[in-house]
A = this chain, B = another copy of it.
Amino acid sequence: MTDPRAAKSRPGLQTDAAKGRYHHGDLREALITAAMELVLERGAENFTLADACRRAGVSTAAPYKHFRDRDEVLEIVLQRGFDLMTEEADAAVAQAGPGTFAAMIALNKHYVLFAIKRPSLFKLMFGQSPELKQADLVLEQGQDCFGRVVKHFADYCEAAGIAEDPMQVCLRTWTFVHGLASLKIDEDYDAVAPDLDHMALLTDTLPLLLQDGMASGAR
């Protein structure tokens, strides 16, 4: 297994980047990077493999040496999105202090901010037709990400003395923040409540959702 990235230096010829060479060097990674950029810029629906090829400086047939089809590229972008989200979410909780109410605020705020900062990626991760998310690797990625979140909720529930199943609390809170993030980035609030302070809506509602649902007289 030779690392393709190691074969960068070729004596006698241009020491510069892949410019002018027949072989690219690491086209697979270059295409994934281009795809991520294009998805962030224009959305997954408007992403074309041809654009990514132009950005990487290769012909439109080249990707098929590295990927099954357009969808596989999007699958990988999607995966990396979950990586990034998991990483950032963990950091947010760590900084706020695991088990604290502040950590719950930070975790859920992060979810919304992630969506606002990268709406197209967020939509690709959660909103796309199931075909893309069917892939086993992608499924795992999502499960890992969610598993960590449930853990953070469990920490809080224990610290706050909430008897309800943390999974349940997590699911209903996720549902709310996912709705918030979606309605915000799809600009659905704008048509109806243009002055809405969506972060205030989040911080105001979280206490309602984090209380013990069993003890609240629901039903």
Contacts and interface: CB of A to CB of B under 8 A. Distances in A.
Interface residues of A, number: 46
Given A208-B209, A209-B208, A216-B207, A192 B126 contact: no
A171 B205 CA distance: 11
- By secondary structure, the A interface counts as helix
A204 B219 contact: yes
A139 B178 contact: no
Interface of A: 43, 45, 123, 126-130, 133, 139, 142-143, 146, 167, 171-172, 174-180, 182-183, 186-189, 191-193, 196, 201, 203-205, 207-209, 211, 213, 216-219
A179 to B, nearest CB: 3
Contacts of A191: 133, 139, 142-143, 146
A13 B143 CA distance: 60
Interface centre among A133, A142, A176, A207 (most CB of B within 10 A): A176
9 closest pairs, A vs B, by CB? Answer: A179-B179, A178-B179, A175-B179, A207-B218, A146-B192, A176-B176, A142-B191, A130-B187, A172-B205
Nearest to A198: B175
